[in-house]
Structure 1
Amino acid sequence: MRRLLISLMVATSLTSYFPTPTLAQQNQAPGFAQSQAVVHYRTAEIDGVKVFYREAGPKDGPVVLLLHGFPTSSHMFRNLIPLLADKYHVIAPDYPGYGQSDAPDHEKFSYTFANQAEIVDKLVTKLGAERYTMYVMDYGAPIGYRLALKHPERVSGLIVQNGNAYSEGLQSPFWDPIKVYWADRSKKNRDPLNVLVTLDITKFQYTDGMGDVERISPDNWVHDQALLDRPGNRDIQLDMLGDYGSNVPLYPQFQAFFRAQQPPTLIVWGKNDKIFPEAGAHPYLRDLPKAEVHILDSGHFALEDKLDEMAPLIRDFLDRKVVTN
């Protein structure tokens, strides 16, 4: 009897400290679970190059392939991944030369968008991703759209964030010296582009045009710049900037893919981006008239200050359009 009384007293005491969750608290549990999603940090060898990728979520869930921009890596998706991984199988690679992936010497490895797309294609194939929604941003857009041309049947949807596929999106003065280099890949045209991999420009990409710059962690440009400053990486970046021009002749093919396949598409675009301005967002509607468009008061890396707006839009889009597609 004495033991029973003690047990009852302990149980009552624990209940007072850890009460049964209210219905409202129970309804919040899925969000809490999302925030606690386990992210794995892995590498795979593709064509002799170690390719780093972040992976989270159920292996049998719909795949969401996150394709990063310049000058960052899958690091740009670090906050979004846990918000999708309760239901979706999320894969976010670093291209060779970026993030934690190998960065072979530019004289021994072809730093072109065609080759980067090939590496990503081989990675997702190795991981068994037979169908995927692509989140494409900046460099991720032409890389992703090249994948789409190769495997149109694999694309279950598109999330486009400041990623270009139309000539209207290349009218910014930012591109003027780069276009000169496209036309003449000489040293005299290459050298002026060195400024694009300096700390001032890296910081500019994260802070310019942001709705609330105090929401932007300085860790972003410190992290990216440390990687840009690795020996040999400047040449890698200049090779990629030079090769960006190879994507422009493919724009009609990208647009033909949109028209023919009509993938469910969500466009979330930072309107103040001076690299890929808002003018590049609206032409998508010519070929994807059912696309959902949200123009945000943000800049180039909109996830850094608008995650609280973008994540619900992305979740809602995936839940409505992709799970059943």
Structure 2
Amino acid sequence: MGFLDIPGLGKAHFHEYGIGNKPMLAFHGYGMTGKQFHVLEQSVLQQYHVYGFDHFFHGESKLSGWAEQQIVDGMPRNMVRQYVEQWFAVYGRQRFSVMGYSIGANIALILLEEYADLIDAIILMAPDGLAVHKGFNLMLHKPVGRFLFRNICKSKWLAPSLLKNALKAGFIDQSLYTIAYNEVDTEQKRQDVYYTLNLIRMLKPDISKVASLINQHKINCTLIFGRDDKLFPKSAAMPFISMLDNADVHELPLGHWLVIKQLDEYLVNLPR
């Protein structure tokens, strides 16, 4: 593990694991760290040497000198290039692959836009970024939604209450409720939710461009969804999937909580 000093941003911490010799830059989901993909030891980690980055406000990654208003305005997407440029500075310019789960998929997709000629494969699990999510779009880009999101995160009771009502209404399932509730049950956690989602709110890939580049450069593309995922289901990604020439698409009998041992067992047993 180590750190990359990203100009104008801060120190991005990463974890290294996997016995494969092909480098892969990986970006985890909310509330996790760059170690999240360690569970894929019999499948992905046999082929790749993973550099798993901690998102800011997660793990040991630290923003440097950012005021709250800068965070709320969002990280400019051109800064995403610096993850790779600084990684090149340490390890040399070379071909690599990318992997992303949930909100981490946005960064993986933007890197594909920027470095398609150097990318061998992309693996996305329950990915954000393939379609506009109405809830996230409201609370991160619409004035009323942004106002509500800020006040919900400042309140001691609003966030837990809204999650309970969302569960009762069937908008989220029990597993997603448990994950989300554990991330809003303290003031610090609510602040981290607010800062994390605002920091990355401008990091939206151009899906048509991504699909075109995957086809043009014949990048191996693996998409994995949970059949019971109410957050980022396969159905929302179908317009993107339809633009791909040869995507490897899988749907497992799981919810959004997808990066688990069962996924590793599924992937290792796929026909070669």
What is aligned with 1:3?
none
Counterpart check, 1:145 vs 2:101: no
Instruction: Say whether 1:52 aligns with 2:13.
Output: yes
Contact 2:34–2:52 (CA under 8 A) maintained in structure 1: yes
Distance across 1 between alignment mates of 2:128 and 2:113: 16
1:65 lines up with 2:25 in the alignment: yes
Opposite residue 257 of structure 2, the aligned amino acid is: F
Q: CA RMSD in A?
A: 3.9
- Please give the per-residue CA displacement for 1:2-31, whole angstroms capped at 9, x wherever unaligned: xxxxxxxxxxxxxxxxxxxxxxxxxxxxxx
Give the Cα separation in 2 of the matches to 1:226 and 1:154.
42
**Structure with the greater relative contact order (CA < 8 A, sep ≥ 6): 1 or 2?**
2
Amino-acid identity (%): 17
Please give the per-residue CA displacement for 1:226-275, whole angstroms capped at 9, x wherever unaligned.
9982695344134136x25x626x23322332332231112211121111
Report the CA distance shift for 1:156/1:308 in structure 2 as closer, same or farther (over 3 A): closer
Any gaps of 5 or more consecutive residues in structure 2? none
Q: Name the CA shift for 1:51/1:182 in 2 (closer, same or farther; >3 Å).
A: same
Quote the residue 1:25 is aligned against: none
Residue 121 (structure 1) aligns with: 84
Corresponding residue for residue 263 of structure 1: 219
The number of residues matched between the two structures is 256
1:162–1:300: 8 Å Cα contact kept in structure 2?
A: yes
Any residues of structure 2 matched to 1:127-206 within 5 Å, and which? 127-128=91-92, 130-167=94-131, 170=133, 175-176=134-135, 178-179=137-138, 181-184=140-143, 188-191=147-150, 194=153
Does 2:76 match 1:76? no
Q: Residue in 2 aligned with 1:101?
A: 61
**Partner Cα distance (1:120, 1:222) in 2:** 31
Partner of 1:295: 251
- Name the residue aligned to 2:263: 307
Candidates 229, 239, 243, aligned match of 2:198: 239
| Contact preservation (8 Å) 2:40, 2:261 | no
What secondary structure sits across from 2:62 in the alignment?
Answer: coil
One-letter amino acid of the structure 2 residue matched with residue 251 of structure 1: I
CA separation of 1:62 and 1:129: change in aligned 2, threshold 3 A: farther
Matched-pair contact (CA < 8 Å) for 1:95–1:116: no
Point out the structure with max Rg over C-alpha.
1
2-side partners of 1:150 and 1:234: how far apart? 27
More helix by share: 1
**Which stretch has the larger CA shift, 66-75 or 303-312?**
303-312
The equivalent of 1:208 in structure 2 is 173
Q: C-alpha separation between the residues in 1 aligned to 2:125 and 2:63?
A: 26
Distance 1:65 1:312 in 2: 20
Residues 280 and 43 of structure 1, relative CA distance in 2, 3 Å threshold:
same
In the TM superposition, residue 223 of structure 1 has moved relative to its aligned partner by 8.2
3-state SS of the aligned residue for 2:265? helix
Partner of 1:34: none
